[in-house]
Structure 1
Amino acid sequence: MPSRQEQLLDAAITVLGSQGIRQLTHRAVDAAAGLPAGSASNYFRTRDALVNAIIERFAERERASWEALAGMVTPRTPEELAEVLAAYVRRAVGPDRVVTIARYGIFLEAALRPESREQLTASAREIRRWGAEWLRSVGAPDPGQACELLLDQMDGLILHNLAYPDLVVDLEARLTAAVRGVFDVCGAD
């Protein structure tokens, strides 16, 4: 069971992903968490402290999600990898839409707050390490480079699907083509 502080931060992520950064206030977080007024400000005295704590909590949650996925799935072919990536994208823009929108909001905040980047960078490195292992298991010639290219492609697909979903069609075909293209590019050296 999450601690009260984690409850508040998870509620803050929900506020950020459903209402935007401008609506992220201590009062909104208290309401979203179903806790008494003043609860968030007891833990996070300033809005900056709240935002920094959200970034840290988000990085923890993202690492845990990828650890769980990496532990459950081991694709053996480029097609299986594309299926896993497509399932991840569908979940990110479907059931996890609010969290995904919060993720992009957090990225923008980190771009404006250099002191907040360290936690996100550490999380990104772990995700890239797991992704490179997956790509190694399906025979990618340069798993590290392939992982970076595929994660960039996925971020683009997710962002486009959030912004204008009617233009994103046949996700599996696009990701299969991306996986094959990455293998070609990374093997061309």
Structure 2
Amino acid sequence: MDQEAGVPGGTASNYFANRDDLLRQVGEYVHVRLAPSAQRLAKTMAAPPDKSLVERLLRDLLERLQVDRTGYLALLELRLEATRRPELQAALTKTISDNLEQNVRFHLDAGLPGDRTTVVSLYLAMSGMIVEHLTLPEVLPEDEMKELITALVDRT
């Protein structure tokens, strides 16, 4: 594993007990890596808590994931690996569930329109759109993604 990563031998074993530990930690870290900076989020949240702000937040999410496409695709790889590794599945389930609940709390605490079902629906719709766009970008071109986000928010 060290040789493939281009690091001195023994580096990975210094930081990770085994492959499952490495994958678990990657699963925890990737959400931190994909999250908006505190400054960017504060600037965005200065707007009134209406549907246009929800749309802006979703567009910002898409933009961050396009910029760090590799990070998001790594998360998809982890999800697939979790179907074969029960410990990774448990860890990733907890990480993603916690992340979703944080998003629900954020949305509700910010006074944005909608309820928990709204947030979960937006999460599921965006997840599918993002997978489609980042893996097969010609299926949903950039302009269509923007229109879909607007339509999605309008329907919530």
* TM-score, length basis structure 1: 0.66
Residue 53 of structure 2: aligned partner: 80
Q: Bigger CA drift: 80-89 or 130-139?
A: 130-139
Within the candidate set 138, 144, 147, 1:173 is matched to 147
Gaps of 5+ in 2: none
Local SS of the residue matching 2:138: helix
Alignment-derived partner of residue 28 in structure 1 = 4
**Does the 8 A contact of 1:89 with 1:158 survive in 2?**
yes
Alpha-carbon distance, 1:57 to partner: 3.2
Structure 1 moving runs of 4+ over 6 Å: none
Does 2:83 match 1:111? yes
The counterpart of 1:120, out of the listed 75, 88, 92, is 92
- Rounded to whole Å, the distance in 2 between the matches of 1:51 and 1:77 is 42
3-state SS, counterpart of residue 9 of structure 2: coil
Q: Once the 2 structures are TM-superposed, how far is the Cα of residue 144 of structure 1 from its aligned partner?
A: 1.9
What amino acid does structure 1 have at the position aligned with 2:125? Q
CA deviation string 1:34-70 (max 9, x = no partner): x31232244446xxx2243222233134147548569
Give the whole-Å Cα distance in 1 for the aligned partners of 2:75 and 2:52.
27
1:9-20 map, 5 Å: none
For 1:168, give the aligned amino acid: L
Q: Would the alpha carbon gap of residues 64 and 36 (structure 1) be closer, same or farther in structure 2, given more than 3 Å must change?
A: closer
Task: Give how far 1:151 is off.
Answer: 1.2
Quote the Cα distance in structure 2 between the aligned partners of 1:175 and 1:92: 15
TM-aligned CA distance change 1:98 to 1:36, over 3 Å: same
Letter in 2 for 1:138: L
Aligned counterparts, 1:1-189, within 5 A? 25-29=1-5, 31=6, 35-44=7-16, 49-63=18-32, 65-66=34-35, 68=37, 72=42, 73-74=44-45, 76-93=49-66, 95-136=67-108, 137-140=111-114, 143-169=115-141, 170=143, 171-181=145-155, 183=156
- Give the superposed CA RMSD: 2.6
Normalising to structure 2: TM-score of the pair? 0.77
CA shift at 1:177, angstroms? 1.3
- Check whether the contact 1:78–1:180 (CA below 8 A) recurs between aligned residues: yes
Deviations 1:89-136 (A, max 9, x none): 12212x201111111001111122121123222222232223223443
Is the helix fraction higher in 1 or 2?
1
How many residues align? The count is: 148
Structure 2 counterpart of 1:151, one-letter code: Y
Is the CA contact 1:86–1:172 (under 8 Å) kept in the aligned structure 2?
A: yes
